[in-house]
Amino acid sequence: MAAVAPIRLADYTPWAFQLPVIELNVDVQSNHVVVSSRLELTPQSAGAPLLLRGVDLTIESLAIDDVPLEPSEWSYREGLLTINKTPAQPFVLATRCRIDPYNNSSLEGLYASCGLLSTQCEAEGFRRISLHPDRPDVLSQWRVRIEAPRGSCPVLLSNGNPIGTEAVGTDRHAVTWDDPFPKPSYLFALVAGDLREIRDRYTTSSGRDVALRLHVEAGDEAFTAHAMASLKRSMAWDESVYNLEYDLDEYNIVAVRHFNMGAMENKSLNIFNSKLVLADAETATDAELERIESVIAHEYFHNWSGNRITCRDWFQLSLKEGLTVFRDQSFTADLHSESVKRIEDVSMLRNTQFREDAGPTAHPVKPAEYQAIDNFYTTTIYEKGAELIRMLHTLLGETRFMRGMATYVSRFDGTAATTEDFVQAIADGACADGQPLGFDLAKFRQWYHQAGTPHLEVKRSWDDALGQMTVQMKQSTSATPGQPEKQPLVLPLAMALVGPEGRVGDEALVVMDGDTMTTTLQGQPNSPAPALSFLRRFSAPLIVQMDQSLQENLQLFSADDDPFSRWDAGQRLARQVLLARAQGGCDQAVEAALIEAMQQRITAGQATDRADLAALLSLPGMAELEALQSPVDPLALYDAMRSWTAELGRQLQVPLRQVLSVVRHDWPLAWPAGQGGRALTGLAWRWLAAAGDEEVRREALQAVSGSSMTLARSALRALQPLEVEERDQALACFYDRWQNKPVILDAWFALEASAPRLNGLERVQQLLEHPRFDPLAPNSLRAVLGGFTANVTTFHAVDGSGYRFMAEQVAAVDARNPITASRMAKVFSRCGSYGPERQRVMREAINLLASYPLSANTAEVVQLLNP
């Protein structure tokens, strides 16, 4: 494998030219596309050679100031066009290239999907469309003319405002778009095809009338109301909370079946994976509806945090992504339940980001170097990045944080900024009230540069006479690849004392920034030691190590006034139970006490806070458990999960049945109403079905043909782990009903691929050959291969057959779609945590993958796995 020279943050230099204006002409033909460009270039220093990026382009002509360049005046190799001699004064470079979107399976640049031409330019896709510096700090005003056959491409879209349409001959037409806001090439977008439009309007707070246009394939019009309503809610929220308004006369969203990620925030022309647009209660689950709402919001919020203020270079990726995730998390919390959202987000962080931070692909929120930037669209950049913004918010409070945001926006609007710029602007804006910042900014900045999850060791002692708890804390972060030494970080730690009746005294926000710290909390003198409610709301992304008794956890579980901390106490007990079971034992005292506490919560909570109750009772994820076991035995953990679920179903049968009879009334309520009741239904079905409840199996089977997708999928999830007749009937029924809806059928592919079966591997091979399986759709690949890697018994077979199979599949995908393949290759990053036998066979699979001719993207991941 050829090692690619890494790109380093330390090597950043501005580009040698400015490019204030770009004109593009895109000529769509039936078997190729011709892209002509006119770049207005201003040299920043005399005589600099002009270097432009271009990948898979056939260059037809180049001219400077209308004078064609001779072949001797330029070279084009390895993705780089070099023109050595350029005028010292501003000049115009005209280029004409031919591209082939019809055979582009990478889904980067311009590509065809189901007859539709669409683009994906982030991060470095524009170089597959036209010659360009293709770096985010080069901002231009763009004018784009698209010419195409009227029949196959009645709809022609690009960024900004349409400023003209033309008829070209009898069967062709052209539309010209003008975007007044300077933007980098990664935000360019173009769509040409036959789409149906759903239109709505939104009036901004200052009175701008915005046309909202959603574009979908014919037949999908009926499934757009949720996305449209979500967009309007997002626009209103950003105005009322951040005082940020939309800035153009139209906002377009296009749904595309073949898409590498979730969605893309191109200026005024968002392109979405169709699974994140098309939905209603019958075709999408409550969780999917909430996800769609949050991704619509995410892309909309990028208009300010990403587009109006963009990134200087790709090392700053979290500048826009961390901030925008923080914004979309706050949006969902405001619209729904703050506590449930926090629990979901922390659970996801622990099961994905903590794992990444502890493995061979660990990297800082601001990496110092990379080979393929696509590999850095990670949970660390996104979710840990959002946690850093959240900590700033916690440290400063809402008012000061928002003043900081206003400073950031006014200072950097229209520019390409850095994370340092952001942190400084937040600090300056916050301190405009004349008060000190309240924490060490230099030490806070370390969070951006240091990989790994900090561990915080906590010890307490209780002074009965004074009624004081002394809390001693010590922070440390383990070495990560390339970072042996770690610095102490600024940790905002929210804590309180909790007695049997609830919180005692106020919550304290303790800011720690050294290796160790001691603090005291005031409680009631001459009373039994209260429980310590620590890291309330998960005020910092770290792992707490503290000896807490069963009694203390139970007290927090039932009496803490912070719903997050209640949940967290339950999670600690559940992890204890599951790990003991996985080691072949059983912690009977903990099990009995936890079940009793759960029973009490179920009885008390079913009448009112059903969504809270469902969140409170949720079980820890596999990844979290694996992090606590050494060496990891995935099969033992999986069995522990199964046996504990069955135990819960047996022991809690009476209250769970009682719950089912009550929450039934929530079933028909339209989202977001009724979601708590439906979540409890799913949980009760899962546990009762695992305990062998035949009535529940029948009820679940019926729900698969009912009118709620949430209940149908909950039913499938409850039946899926069981090798019973109803499972296969339910899967077959779901397939029959939805076989013509690819977005929905992907859920079936995932369930089939992950269902425990004796012939699991064979089943997965059949799925890859299935007539409804689309090997060019990343959604389908993720469903089947992602489902397969979640199929613990099959993927982790001790003979290594599952790992080998996965290596072959990743190599096959890599030949067509490197972005999707390299993300999949990361399943092998857990290798080092397994026992010697499993490690050996997984290592063999990694070597097998390495033996294929791999893309730069996948080669980089494999190299990290094989240090």
- Give me the active site residues, please: 299
Q: How many residues bind ligand TRP, per CB under 6 A?
A: 14
Angle, to 10 degrees, between the axis of helix 856-865 and the axis of helix 801-816?
Answer: 150
Range in contact with ligand TRP (rule: CB under 6 A) among 37-45, 66-74, 116-124, 204-212: 116-124
b/e per residue 270-297 (b: at least 16 CB within 10 A):
bbbbbbbbbbebebbbbebbbbbbbbbb
Range in contact with Zn ion (rule: CB under 5 A) among 22-30, 72-80, 81-89, 318-326: 318-326
Q: How many residues bind Zn ion, per CB under 5 A?
A: 2
Whose Cβ is closer to ligand TRP: residue 157's or residue 755's? 157
| CA 590 to mean position of chain CA atoms | 35
| CA 384 to mean position of chain CA atoms | 11
Binding partner at 377 among ligand TRP, Zn ion, none, C-beta below 5 to 8 Å by kind? ligand TRP
Closest distance to Zn ion from the beta carbon of 275 (Å):
17
Is the four-CA dihedral 694, 697, 698, 699 of positive or negative sign? positive
Closest distance to ligand TRP from the beta carbon of 718 (Å):
33
Closest distance to Zn ion from the beta carbon of 321 (Å):
5
Q: Which residue from 140, 230, 260, 394 is in contact with ligand TRP, where contact means CB under 6 A? A: 260
Range in contact with Zn ion (rule: CB under 5 A) among 314-322, 601-609, 620-628, 703-711: 314-322
Q: Which residue from 19, 99, 123, 859 is in contact with ligand TRP, where contact means CB under 6 A? A: 123
Q: Which of 361, 350, 360 is nearest to 622 (CA)?
A: 350
Range in contact with ligand TRP (rule: CB under 6 A) among 91-99, 117-125, 457-465, 612-620: 117-125
Whose Cβ is closer to Zn ion: residue 193's or residue 778's? 778
Whose Cβ is closer to ligand TRP: residue 261's or residue 281's? 261
Binding partner at 264 among Zn ion, ligand TRP, none, C-beta below 5 to 8 Å by kind? ligand TRP
Whose Cβ is closer to Zn ion: residue 383's or residue 513's? 383
371 token code pair: 């080979």
Q: Which of 351, 169, 326, 132 is nearest to 242 (CA)?
A: 326
Q: Which residue from 25, 86, 95, 120 is in contact with ligand TRP, where contact means CB under 6 A? A: 120
Residues numbered 324 to 343 that lie near Zn ion (CB under 5 A) are: 324
C-alpha span between 360 and 386 (Å, rounded): 22
Whose Cβ is closer to ligand TRP: residue 263's or residue 656's? 263
Range in contact with Zn ion (rule: CB under 5 A) among 37-45, 320-328, 708-716, 769-777: 320-328
Whose Cβ is closer to ligand TRP: residue 299's or residue 356's? 299
For 633, the 3-state DSSP assignment is coil
Establish if 237 lies at the interface with ligand TRP (CB under 6 A).
no
Q: Which stretches of 320-449 are assigned E, i.e. beta strand?
A: 369-370, 416-417
C-alpha span between 489 and 450 (Å, rounded): 9
Binding partner at 710 among Zn ion, ligand TRP, none, C-beta below 5 to 8 Å by kind? none
Site string for ligand TRP, 295-334 (x = CB under 6 A): ---xx---------------------x-------------
Whose Cβ is closer to ligand TRP: residue 385's or residue 467's? 385
Whose Cβ is closer to ligand TRP: residue 173's or residue 215's? 215
Binding partner at 261 among ligand TRP, Zn ion, none, C-beta below 5 to 8 Å by kind? ligand TRP
Question: Is there a contact between 295 and 262 (Cβ–Cβ < 8 Å)?
Answer: yes
Binding partner at 260 among Zn ion, ligand TRP, none, C-beta below 5 to 8 Å by kind? ligand TRP
| Tally of CA atoms within 13 A in the half-sphere of 190 that contains its CB | 33
440 token code pair: 């060490």
Binding partner at 647 among ligand TRP, Zn ion, none, C-beta below 5 to 8 Å by kind? none
Which region, left, alpha or beta, applies to residue 107 given φ > 0 means left and ψ of -120 to 50 means alpha? left
Binding partner at 37 among ligand TRP, Zn ion, none, C-beta below 5 to 8 Å by kind? none
Q: Which residue from 179, 374, 633, 860 is in contact with ligand TRP, where contact means CB under 6 A? A: 374
Closest distance to ligand TRP from the beta carbon of 124 (Å):
9
Question: What is the DSSP-derived secondary structure letter of residue 779?
Answer: H
Establish if 377 lies at the interface with ligand TRP (CB under 6 A).
yes
Closest distance to ligand TRP from the beta carbon of 122 (Å):
5
C-alpha span between 68 and 93 (Å, rounded): 10
C-alpha span between 44 and 29 (Å, rounded): 38
C-alpha span between 556 and 56 (Å, rounded): 60
Closest distance to Zn ion from the beta carbon of 280 (Å):
25
Question: Is there a contact between 189 and 177 (Cβ–Cβ < 8 Å)?
Answer: no
Quick check: bond before 690 cis, omega within 30?
no
Whose Cβ is closer to Zn ion: residue 324's or residue 352's? 324
Whose Cβ is closer to ligand TRP: residue 122's or residue 345's? 122
Burial class (CB in 10 A: 0-12, 13-18, 19+), 215: buried
Binding partner at 774 among ligand TRP, Zn ion, none, C-beta below 5 to 8 Å by kind? none
Question: Is there a contact between 172 and 149 (Cβ–Cβ < 8 Å)?
Answer: yes
Site string for ligand TRP, 523-562 (x = CB under 6 A): ----------------------------------------
Question: Is there a contact between 149 and 117 (Cβ–Cβ < 8 Å)?
Answer: no
Establish if 263 lies at the interface with ligand TRP (CB under 6 A).
yes
Question: Is there a contact between 136 and 17 (Cβ–Cβ < 8 Å)?
Answer: no
Whose Cβ is closer to ligand TRP: residue 264's or residue 690's? 264
Range in contact with Zn ion (rule: CB under 5 A) among 35-43, 243-251, 316-324, 350-358: 316-324
The Cα diameter of the chain in Å comes to: 94
Whose Cβ is closer to Zn ion: residue 186's or residue 773's? 186
Question: Is there a contact between 466 and 525 (Cβ–Cβ < 8 Å)?
Answer: yes
C-alpha span between 565 and 571 (Å, rounded): 9
Closest distance to ligand TRP from the beta carbon of 265 (Å):
5
Establish if 265 lies at the interface with ligand TRP (CB under 6 A).
yes
Question: Is there a contact between 736 and 719 (Cβ–Cβ < 8 Å)?
Answer: no
Closest distance to Zn ion from the beta carbon of 302 (Å):
6
Q: How far is CA 205 from CA 84, 202, 244, 245, 628, in A?
A: 51, 10, 10, 7, 51
**Torsion of Cα atoms, 704 then 707 then 708 then 711, to 10°:** -30
Binding partner at 147 among ligand TRP, Zn ion, none, C-beta below 5 to 8 Å by kind? none
Site string for ligand TRP, 799-828 (x = CB under 6 A): --------------------x---------
Residues paired with residue 253 on neighbouring β-strands, in sequence order: 214, 270
Question: Is there a contact between 713 and 747 (Cβ–Cβ < 8 Å)?
Answer: yes
Residues paired with residue 37 on neighbouring β-strands, in sequence order: 24, 95
Binding partner at 374 among ligand TRP, Zn ion, none, C-beta below 5 to 8 Å by kind? ligand TRP
Q: Which of 226, 232, 234 is nearest to 278 (CA)?
A: 226
Closest residue by beta carbon to ligand TRP: 261
Quick check: bond before 149 cis, omega within 30?
no
Establish if 261 lies at the interface with ligand TRP (CB under 6 A).
yes
Q: Which of 290, 285, 336 is nearest to 714 (CA)?
A: 285
Binding partner at 349 among ligand TRP, Zn ion, none, C-beta below 5 to 8 Å by kind? none
Q: How far is CA 303 from CA 102, 245, 306, 525, in A?
A: 30, 9, 6, 54
Whose Cβ is closer to Zn ion: residue 273's or residue 720's? 273
Establish if 264 lies at the interface with ligand TRP (CB under 6 A).
yes
Binding residues vs Zn ion (CB under 5 A)? 321, 324
Binding residues vs ligand TRP (CB under 6 A)? 120, 122-123, 260-261, 263-265, 298-299, 321, 374, 377, 819
